Structure 1
Amino acid sequence: MSDHPIQGLMKTAMENLKEMVDVNTIVGDPVETPDGSVILPISKVGFGFAAGGSEFVLEGSPKTPTETEKKHPFGGGSGGGVSITPIAFLVVNGQGVNMVHLDQNTHLYEKLLDFAPQVVDKIQQMIQSNQSSGQSQGSTGQDAQDININVDND
């Protein structure tokens, strides 16, 4: 079975898009600074693709075409686009790994995850202090302690 002309259009467009988008597009090439830090750019990549075509019947063609007349003229086109948006930088240095976001308003969940270890530490401290003070605090009604966590908008 021979390939349809639209398959050639789609194959060509997809191969060209594949060449444009690779893993280094999302996580960019590392850049080393003079102080030894390594900075990796992180990007959001989106792409779209469209293809279409049509076969045309010639006027005056017989209702029962011969084998050579079964192929109709074909017209088609395809297109695609890629959008690359930088969203953050990953900074790796002697003090650890830090994510520097370019849009601070969209990263609430990540901030909550960053503060989870602090919350667990505070809860463990509260439980340990309650166990060390014995049952006397329980009878006075002073079981709860304040948990203070500072949230900075970096």
Structure 2
Amino acid sequence: MKESFYEKLFKLIEMNIKNIKEITIESNPNVTYEWLKEIKNFGINRISFGVQSFNEKKLKFLNRNHSPIQAVKSIENAKKAGFENINLDLIYATAQDNKKLLENDLNTAFKLPLTHISAYSLTIEEGTKWEGDYSKRKEDEELEIWFINKI
């Protein structure tokens, strides 16, 4: 969403958020530094990026519209724009996953100025594009436990 949307929104709700300690926004990890600076000015003090992975092939598999480089740059720019509380989401248990790929995702994430990492196991939900297609998910309990313990 453009900055102007948030400007209008925050004017509408400003009386209701005067004493709020944390305001979080979720974002795709392909935003500009300028956008980050603008939304920071509205009082947003926590940002969460839907990175999912730093692996190009896995991002394509997940139909994500950002690259690994864009994800890293967005997180670095969020820090530069003044965000102290930065989160990213990772997804695991996809058909693409193996120990090396997941370890690379974690190693990349751990090098970034993050305060939190959220990790989600891929679930195949009714009413979604992948409904009933369990080939998209990897059932590997050992790999999932290994990944969770690494975080």
**Structure label with greater radius of gyration:** 1
Q: Greater strand percent: which structure? A: 1
Q: Same fold (TM over 0.5)?
A: no
TM-score by length of 2: 0.21
| The structure with more helix, counted as a fraction of residues | 2
